[in-house]
Chain A
Amino acid sequence: KQEVTQIPAALSVPEGENLVLNCSFTDSAIYNLQWFRQDPGKGLTSLLLIQSSQREQTSGRLNASLDKSSGRSTLYIAASQPGDSATYLCALTGGSQGNLIFGKGTKLSVKP
């Protein structure tokens, strides 16, 4: 059964720092991998989608990479800002029905 793990569970950094969030998974048979952002009490905002044939995707200060062979993805945030404070969720689409399987998230706090 596919399992998705995100480490660390929480991270606190000073403003301006570059940071990396990690996501690992146990089964490389995936369609794609999505990174989401969730603000407290709110829904999920899709940040980046990487198809299984791709190695990375970029959007602004965000860069996500995918290495299926090692079962890992990283989300790189450049020049972090207090507004980046949120929980970041990694989810991959796999299995016969193509459903999303989520990690438990990394709660990021960026201090001014």
Chain B
Amino acid sequence: DVKVTQSSRYLVKRTGEKVFLECVQDMDHENMFWYRQDPGLGLRLIYFSYDVKMKEKGDIPEGYSVSREKKERFSLILESASTNQTSMYLCASRTQGGGFYEQYFGPGTRLTVT
């Protein structure tokens, strides 16, 4: 079974802190994604990565950056956390081949910024 894990289920941080959210997949997938989910807005794509050291902006990249130094790991970085970044963050991975293959999701990280 494909497994996508996220480093924390719940995280509480203070405004202005630098925050790292980690995602690891064990299926040698080339593509990885970060989404955030908010009530009434649904899931929105923040960043994605086609392969190691490659990244592309999604729909809402402002205030975020990403890092992919190894194939299995994709990190989301909040450079200076703000209260409007309080949200559920979901990571996903997919094999190479573009849109024909399904994405597999991790359990999510509920981030609260106070």
Contacts and interface: CB of A to CB of B under 8 A. Distances in A.
Contacts of B45: 99-100
Interface stretch (B61-69, B70-78, B95-103): B95-103
Contacts of A93: 99-100
Interface string A68-112: 000000000000000000000101011101111011110000000
Nearest to A97: B56
Nearest to B109: A43
A42 B105 CA distance: 10
A103 B107 CA distance: 19
Interface string A9-53: 000000000000000000000111010100001111110010100
Given A98-B98, A104-B40, A105-B42, A43 B103 contact: no
Given A99-B58, A104-B40, A31 B105 contact: no
Interface string B8-44: 0000000000000000000000000100000011110
Given A43-B108, A104-B40, 16 more contacts: A31-B100, A32-B100, A42-B107, A44-B92, A44-B105, A46-B105, A49-B102, A89-B42, A89-B43, A93-B99, A94-B99, A98-B100, A99-B99, A100-B33, A100-B92, A103-B42
Interface of A: 30-32, 34, 36, 41-46, 49, 51, 89, 91, 93-95, 97-100, 102-105
